[in-house]
Amino acid sequence: MKVSWSQRINFRLVLFIGLVAGVVGWVMWKFVQVQLTGGIIDKGGYLDVDLKAISSFEMDPIDATDESVPRKFRELEGKRVLLVGEMYQPYSVGGRVSEFDLVYSIAKCCVTSSPKIQHFVKSKVLPGKEVEYFGGLVEVMGRFHVGVEKANGRVRSVYRIEVESVKPG
């Protein structure tokens, strides 16, 4: 007696294996994509920049110069970019802000060590404007600036952005 396909194959198991393989494949692709692009993807009118990728390098917090920042990140100077991260503004009491720091993750940023200045993007909204403060992930669009700025003998910032818009991510 011949057994039908439905009795030989468990379609729920095949669907489950396909779903797991799809999720694992997507995670692996994201990892490979960051490795191939350095976390910078050209989307036409702007560059999609991975905050974790551009902050994952070592830099002396006192003697750093612009050359301490990897060239591929220095080349972002003046470009229009989209950054996805979390807003950090410890002194905000209202729902709107004109400046804040952007980090890839407040909780995960500095698990293995203390925070590094290259983890923070100093974000200033265009003059005379404010944006809504959001907890969690946000998408920030604006003009990106790269370069070591110092104050009192220490690096004060590496990355800055002139914020055009902020929306929940």
Of the CA atoms within 13 Å of residue 96, those in its CB half-sphere come to 6
Q: Is the pLDDT of residue 2 over 80?
A: no
Q: Which residue has tokens 């690096």?
A: 155
Q: Which residues of 3-22 are buried (b: 16+ CB within 10 A; e: fewer)?
A: eeeeeeeeeeeeeeeeeeee
Q: Kindly report the three-state secondary structure assignment for every residue of 98-118.
A: CEEEEECCCCCCCCCCCCCHH
Per-residue pLDDT of 74-111, as tens digits, reads 999 999 999 999 998 877 666 889 999 999 887 766 55
Query: Per DSSP, what are the bridge partners of residue 137?
Result: 86
Per-residue pLDDT of 113-159, as tens digits, reads 677 889 899 999 988 899 999 888 999 999 999 999 999 888 999 99
